[in-house]
Amino acid sequence: MSVDAHFAKSAPEVLATYQRRLEAARAFGPVVEEPKKTSIHLLSHTAFAGVATRRTSLVLTLKSTTDIRSPRVQKREQTSAHRWHIDIPLTKPADVDKQLTMCGKSLKTRGEKRGWEAGIRTPITWSRATCPTVERPPSIANGRGGKP
C-alpha cells in the first residue's frame, strides 16, 4: 500500500495535517515514510512515530521512553519497561503546534542516541552501546572466568 492510498477516503484536511506533521519532523533531520497496511511509520534510523488515517482525522502514535501527560493524549500504553505508545488525535493542520513539534524532536533525537537499531527491546544508552561487554557477560569480558 502506498502513502497516497492511505488518504484516498480521507478529507483533504487530513492530508494537509499529515504533510504539516511530516514537515515538522523533517525540520530535525531526514525522515523516511514507510507505509504499512493500516498506518504509515515515520522512521529516522528506527520508527519514532506512526500515523493512522481516518476519514476526518489522523491518530499520531508517538514512541516514547516515558509517559507523556497531556490533555491531548487520547490513549497511552506502556508496552515495556522503557517504551510507551502515546496516541494523539489530529484533526487539522493547526493541531501540529510547537508543543507537538518539540515533543517529536525530543523523541526522534532520543531514538537516535539509543540502541534501538540493535533490534533489542530495552534501550541501551550510546555510552553502553559502544562498550565491548554489551554482547557478552561481564564475567567473561573482564577475564575472571566463571566468577560473576
**pLDDT the model gives residue 12:** 92
- Domain 3-112 sits in CATH 1.10.3470: no
pLDDT at 73: 87
> Distance (Å, rounded) from C-alpha 133 to C-alpha 95?
45
Distance CA 21, CA 61 (A): 12
Distances (CA, A) of 140 to 8, 72, 129: 56, 48, 17
Cα-Cα-Cα-Cα torsion 136, 138, 144, 146, nearest 10 degrees, comes to -70
At 76-91, the pLDDT tens digits run 888 888 888 888 899 8
| The model scores a pTM over 0.85 | no
Strand order in the sheet with 58-64: 32-35, 40-44, 46-53, 58-64, 83-90, 75-80
Residue-level length of the chain: 148
Q: In the prediction, which pLDDT does 11 show? A: 92
DSSP at 133? T
What is the structure's pLDDT at 116?
39
Query: Taking the domains of the chain in order of start, what are their residue ranges?
Result: 3-112, 115-148
Residues (pLDDT < 70) of the chain are 99-148
Cβ contacts of 26 within 8 Å, gap of 6 or more: none
Predicted confidence at residue 103, as pLDDT, reads 61
Tell me what pLDDT residue 104 has: 55
pLDDT at 57: 92
